[in-house]
Amino acid sequence: MYAKAVAALAALTVFALQGAAEQTRAPAQRTKQGTKVETFAKGLAFPWGMAFLPDGRLIVTERPGRMRLVAKDGKVSAPLGNVPHVAAGGQGGLLDVALSPDFATSRYVFISFAERRDGGAATTVARAKLVLDGDGGRLDGVEVIFRQQPAAVGAMHFGSRFAFAPDGNLFVTLGERYQRDRAQDLGTHYGKVVRIRPDGTVPPDNPLVGKTGALPEIWSWGHRNPQAAAIHPATGKLWTVEHGARGGDEVNIPLAGKNYGWPVITYGRDYSGLKIGEGTAKAGMEQPVYYWDPSIAPSGMAFYTGSLFPEWKGNLFVGALRGQALHRLVLDGERVAAEEVLLSDLGERIRDVRSGPDGALWLLTDNPEGRVLRLVPAE
């Protein structure tokens, strides 16, 4: 089951599609409880990813290639030391960050970044130990654990979100580097979700292990540019959101060994207006849970697990770059039942979304003077 949302001012009209032909209308929903947005920190250059440290501080990546700590009072630290050099430009640079599930003992943090190599660039994943020193710190023992193959010329579609599964394995989303057809090529990491162990080795139960001509890290394929990933708190399944072209942004639940269609099937069109692929459905290719047309340019997602907004429990929140808003998706199992568009009056590109330990929703804004925002109930 999937859905199609069509923009209309501040809220989207939602169509819940059941099967291949039946179409029913589901209502847009609005928050009963008022909200307010607080600026927690500012002065960050194109912040891309964030993670909450056990002591209450935030670690934030800046796309030009810096990592910073944000203190509990919102003070932003000097750049952390020993951050790897990144290929900063276009959509490339320092991207996501995540703490190891055993961070309290291992001190490992994971970062993804565009790495310049082999005459081009590609997404790389590294881990390092975070050493805190007063208001700042550094990365120690930086170790590359995964490199997207091959590198490509250009600065587009790196993907690059992390999600740690309940079994401790790490999902990494990878864009197709603006080379559409290679999203269907199992001999490359383009347009794939990969699943690796925290040390970069391949879990033996990955779906393509032992298959001739296929890279064993691959979990699913046929993706365009997934810049959002999260684990459903109840089911433990991976959910992703990816950019379409001109329309066709998708919410997916990537399953082992499944093909999600790009560029053979899509609900979008080329930027020129021309058709892409063969249509919207094909045997052997999965349908999205939900899609947007026109595009909102999604980046960052989180399932709300806090207590400040009880009515939002279990809702999925997706940031929008082109749409400059926060989208709240009301779920009925694995179906989107309704949608609400929030914060459209901010005029901000929302790059990342996290459900914070304090019950607030935390956001990053994508601009040269980026901010960390908290969405909390209005008094």
Q: Helix, strand, or coil here: 183?
A: helix
Task: For residues 216 and 236, give the distance between their C-alpha atoms in angstroms, rounded to a whole number.
Answer: 22
How long, in residues, is the chain? 379
Task: For residues 177 and 33, give the distance between their C-alpha atoms in angstroms, rounded to a whole number.
Answer: 41
Strands 94-99, 316-320: pairing is unpaired
The two three-digit tokens of residue 117, written as one number: 């190599």
Strands 2-8, 290-292: pairing is parallel
Is the distance from CB of 370 to CB of 37 less than 8 angstroms? Answer: no
Strands (E), 100-248: 108-117, 120-133, 136-147, 162-164, 170-173, 192-196, 218-221, 225-231, 238-243
Please enumerate in sequence order all residues whose Cβ is within 8 A of that of 93, keeping only pairs 6 or more positions apart, or say none: 46, 48, 62, 63, 64, 65, 86, 87, 113, 114
The two three-digit tokens of residue 170, written as one number: 């790490």
180: left (phi over 0), alpha (psi -120 to 50) or beta: alpha
Task: For residues 88 and 46, give the distance between their C-alpha atoms in angstroms, rounded to a whole number.
Answer: 11
85 is a catalytic site residue? no
Q: Helix, strand, or coil here: 103?
A: helix
Catalytic residue among 157, 189, 223, 243: 157
Which stretch of DSSP H or E encloses residue 104? helix 103-106
Residues marked active site are found at 157
